[in-house]
Amino acid sequence: MTVVGYASPGWGVHDRRWVEGLRACGFEVEVLSGIEDLAAEVPRRLPAGAPVLAGPLPTVARALVDSAHPIVGLSHGWDLQAGHAQSVPVAELDWLPELARLIVDSPSTRSRAEAAGMPTDRIDLLPWGIDLDRFEPDGDKATLASPADARVVLSLRTHDRLYRTADVIEAFALAASRDPALFLVMGGAGPLTNEHRERVRTLGLGRRVSFTGQVDEDAIAALMRAAALYVTASETDGTSVTLLQAMACRLPVVCSRNPGNEWWVQDGVTGHVFDIGDIDRLAMLMATASVTGPGLTAARAAVVERADWRRNRLMLAGIVGSTAPTA
């Protein structure tokens, strides 16, 4: 059995997805998460020449490029996107060609890697993907703490500045003044959660907003089937997994205009797009956005075509396996 490493700063749902995908394809995976001195730990934990899947790029992958192991860089989207608060200048990505291979999840991140000098033939476009059997339109619906006739707007991004979850609350306040049926479900958590709760109280929206905390992966599909609209206001995305999950469930989506989202959402057809920070436009879309049946069908079809995780994990196995030493 081929041994590979998986290096990351922590351990979350996406880390589990990659590791389980590799194991399902027959690899023995050594997890290297939350380790301060990765460069020293990798040779102690892995056999000589074993490849390491590592991300984000500027932190985890960068720390390993001088090792004797082939490093497969795993872009987290934001680490290659430009124009946001945590953007890394192209000049600071000139080490990318030292990677054995690089996995990106959108054409825009691929283009930026090429601009940094990474050879095209060592870049693999691989959306993170979702479980299409779990995320489909039919099935159980969650019971929400909302009025029976409410039109539920759902947000599931981490509560921080990069994902601009504060914009969702401000836009909802405007939209709720126009449509008394709107109800906001703020899933997830993060460093801004307490600020968000206080802002909702200040706006007098306590009875029209529900904070669910972190939503278990097994509960997301039922939550999406109970909602009328999914929103994300993020500054940056490569491929947003929750956006794909909503599209696969045929839930209408409203998303910020960043390159990653625009690869998936055709404005006015498969969803609606607004400029980053345009709270008035987001509020209007919360109150009025609709997507036709054919548009929802096309949205799911795009996910089925490009983001079937059962298929994409086989591509992942091929990429990582190609860097492993031959017997």
Residue-wise pLDDT for 117-138, tens only, equals 999 999 999 998 999 999 999 9
Residue range 3-129+308-321, CATH number: 3.40.50.2000
Residue 190 and residue 211 in contact, taking contact as beta carbons nearer than 8 Å: no
What tokens were used for 251? 């839930």
How far is the C-alpha of 78 from the C-alpha of 85, rounded, in Å?
9
| DSSP sequence for 150-176 | -EEEEE-S-SSTTTTHHHHHHHHHHHH
How far is the C-alpha of 252 from the C-alpha of 1, rounded, in Å?
43
pLDDT at position 266, please? 96
> What percent of the chain has pLDDT above 70?
100
Mean pLDDT over the full length of the chain: 95
Using DSSP's 3-state secondary structure scheme, residue 184 falls into strand
| DSSP sequence for 254-275 | EEE--HHHHHH--BTTTBEEE-
Residue 57 and residue 75 in contact, taking contact as beta carbons nearer than 8 Å: yes
How far is the C-alpha of 87 from the C-alpha of 90, rounded, in Å?
9
Phi, psi of 211 (to 5 degrees): -100, 120
Mean pLDDT of 140-166: 93
Residue 30 and residue 46 in contact, taking contact as beta carbons nearer than 8 Å: yes
Domain limits, CATH 3.40.50.2000, in the chain = 3-129+308-321, 151-306
Instruction: Say which residue the tokens 């006739």 belong to.
Output: 149
pLDDT at position 85, please? 83
How far is the C-alpha of 142 from the C-alpha of 223, rounded, in Å?
5
pLDDT at position 324, please? 87
pLDDT at position 146, please? 83
Residue 204 and residue 179 in contact, taking contact as beta carbons nearer than 8 Å: no
Mean pLDDT of 69-94: 92
CA 2 from centre of chain: 28
The answer to whether the pTM exceeds 0.85 is: yes
What tokens were used for 207? 């009875």
Mean pLDDT of 236-256: 96
What tokens were used for 184? 């906001």
> In which element (H, E) is residue 242 found?
helix 241-248
Fold of 151-306: Rossmann fold (3.40.50)
Q: How confident is the model at residue 327 (pLDDT cuts 50, 70, 90)?
A: low
